[in-house]
Structure 1
Amino acid sequence: MEAQILNAGPRLKKYGITEKKKSELDTLKNLVIDAQADVQQQQVIVTSLTEKAARYQSYLLVADNNRTHALNNKNLIDQVIQNAYDLGYNSTNAFSNMISANEDTEQVASSVSTLINKLIYSVEIINKLANLVIRKKALNPLISDDLITRINAAGTDANNAVALTLVALKSTLAAEASVLESEAAITLEYKQAIKLYLTLTGQESIDTPLSLNPASDISIRALLYNAYKEAKVAYDKANIANDETSRQLNIAATNLNKAQVKLKSLQSGLAAANAAALAA
């Protein structure tokens, strides 16, 4: 009996070692299973954050494009307003110059008209004088023929002067009509330029300084300024969200890498433990 107990000792020792290794292997297997689950969980997080990062990057691109377009519109409206102001200002000067030109043209027309009246009167006097000399010549042959010729020439010249002056008057009146048309065009241009400027800026007068903050105005300028402001805020929010998502993705990628390294280490340990158990 004692011998049987002594012979069973090695078997009991061998059995105890096997159970211990089995327990260790089971523990390693459980750790591997947990590590695999952790890797899968971390992979799900990384995949989700990768998709989220792609969406937020797309949102950021759209927000950046909107901000750029809004800024271009803001700069464009400033240029248009400046052009409208310049047009209104130049139209004012042109209108003043046109009125002055119209007054000068009227003065010229009046002077030419007066000159024509005087020329016509001169022609009448010359014609009367020519008729008188011709009658006197008939009564007195001693009157020089050269005098009659000169008087007739003077009459012809006077008539020609009247004709030329009439042409000048016609040109003057045409110029005056052109000035009046130009004046009407300049007036219309001025009114439209001022109206455009006031519509764009919401100002009551072209002489009113533009507000540095048009947010309170009701105008196209205010709308475009507000649009740029909102687009800039939207971009800033999108940029912050994109940065935060990138930060979360980097952390998740680091956690996944750690989990994968841990899993590989546990798998290697389990493989080594299995090999040792089989060797024993």
Structure 2
Amino acid sequence: METVVKHSTNKVRYNVTEQKKAELDYLAIQVLDAQHEVEQYQAMVNSLTEKYTNFQNFMASAEAKRDQAQTNVEMLDELVSEVANLQNNSNITNNEINDAKSKSNEVSSRMKLVVDKLIYSAEVINRLSNILIRNKELNPLISDELMSIMANAGKDANNAVALALVALKSTFASHAINMESQAALALEYIEAVKLNSVLTGNFTQPASKSKNPRAKDEGDQSKSPNSSLKTLIDSAYDAAKADFIKSQKAANSTKKQLDKANGLLDKAQVKLSSLQSGLAAANAAALAS
């Protein structure tokens, strides 16, 4: 009878031990599964972190390119404005010189007429003076005062002619300067138009009042803006801006994925820690029994 009881007790102990062992094995498997899950999430976090870092670098590079492209656009706009002002000022100044040249031509014509009349008057006075001199030899009664007046009149007439010629020469010199200035302005205007064409593709003369035939010929032409510098720089800015937006969206999307993965990793680590604590407690209890 005693042997039967002892055998029964051993059987119960064996069954309890097997049950605890099964529980420990189950907890150990859960710990292994949790460790595997943590490793998976950790690998995901590492991959997304590297990916996010790369996208941040891409975004920083794209932002720098976008800012530089925007600076190029602003600088070109300033240059286009300056060229347009130069073109407009050249055209205005050219018209003013045309007006001055027209007035100079009118003054020159009037001065020539005055000089012609002065020369004619001087010749008449000189002839009268010569006639008086000859007649004075034949007729002593001719007044010496009259002779003096005629001599002075001839001298004054010659001086007037000389002064008029100097004035006429100055008028012609001024006319020549106007012509040289107009030629320089015409060249400046044409170069401004050409530069504006290179910058914007616009080869149209803005002011139709220009009296410069060369500028008019140049201004009547047109050019496709497809190859203009402004088109290229604007396109480069649009492309740089689009690249930055794409990089920014990719970085933001990756950041959301990374945040989610970090959250899952934190939960998995908490779960693993809890299971490890439970397994440790179960092992301690098993050893104590």
| Residue of structure 1 aligned with 2:248, choices 239, 251, 261 | 239
Task: Give the TM-score of the pair, scaled to structure 1.
Answer: 0.84
- 1:238 Cα deviation (Å)? 1.4
User: What corresponds to 2:237 in structure 1?
Assistant: 228
Deviation at 1:172, TM superposition (A): 1.2
CA contact (8 A) 2:80 2:196 kept: yes
CA pair 216-251 structure 1, distance change in 2 beyond 3 A? farther
- Give 1:135 shift: 4.5
Aligned residues of 2:200 and 2:225 also touching (Cα < 8 A): no
Which residue identity lines up with residue 241 of structure 2 in the other structure? K
Give 1:51's aligned residue.
50
2:201–2:225 contact (8 Å) kept in structure 1: no
Counterpart Cα distance in 2 of 1:13 and 1:272: 23
Match of 1:154 in 2: 153
Q: Corresponding residue for 1:271?
A: 280
Structure 1 pair 216–132 and aligned structure 2 pair: CA distance change class (3 A)? closer
TM-score (norm. length: structure 2): 0.81
Letter of the structure 1 residue corresponding to residue 16 of structure 2: I
| Aligned mates of 1:146, 1:40 — CA distance in 2 | 135
CA shift, 1:8, in A, is 3.3
C-alpha distance 56-91 of structure 1, shift in aligned 2 (>3 A): same
Most deviating of 177-186 and 124-133? 124-133
1:30 matched residue in structure 2: 29
Q: Is the 8 A contact 2:56 2:251 kept in 1?
A: yes
Contact 2:66 2:241 in 1 (8 A): yes
Secondary structure at the aligned position of 2:273 is classed as helix
1:180 — aligned with what? 179
Structure 1 residues not aligned, in runs of 5+: 208-214
Residue 117 of structure 2 aligns with which residue? 118
Which sits farther off after the overlay, 102-111 or 4-13? 4-13
Q: Return the letter of the residue paired with 1:23.
A: A
Q: 5+ unaligned residues in a row in structure 2: which ranges?
A: 207-223
Once the 2 structures are TM-superposed, how far is the Cα of residue 54 of structure 1 from its aligned partner?
A: 0.9
Is it true that 1:217 corresponds to 2:233 in the alignment? no
Aligned residues: 272
Distance, in Å, in 2 between the alignment partners of 1:206 and 1:222 is 20
- Shifted more, 250-259 versus 104-113: the winner is 104-113
SS in 2 for 1:217: helix
CA distance in 2, matches of 1:136, 1:206: 72
Q: Percent identity?
A: 44
Worse-superposed segment, 54-63 or 102-111: 102-111
The farther-off stretch of 230-239 and 216-225 is 216-225
Provide, for residues 196-252 of structure 1, a one-character-per-residue CA deviation record: whole Å limited to 9, x for no partner.
333433346345xxxxxxx98343332223222222222222122111111111111
Q: What residue is the counterpart of 1:95 in the other structure?
A: 94
**Which moved further from structure 2: 216-225 or 43-52?**
216-225
Confirm whether residue 260 of structure 1 aligns to residue 250 of structure 2. Answer: no
Letter in 2 for 1:217: N
Distance in 1 (CA, whole Å) between partners of 2:105 and 2:270 is 100
Where does residue 258 of structure 2 map in the other structure? Answer: 249
Report the equivalent of 2:18: 19
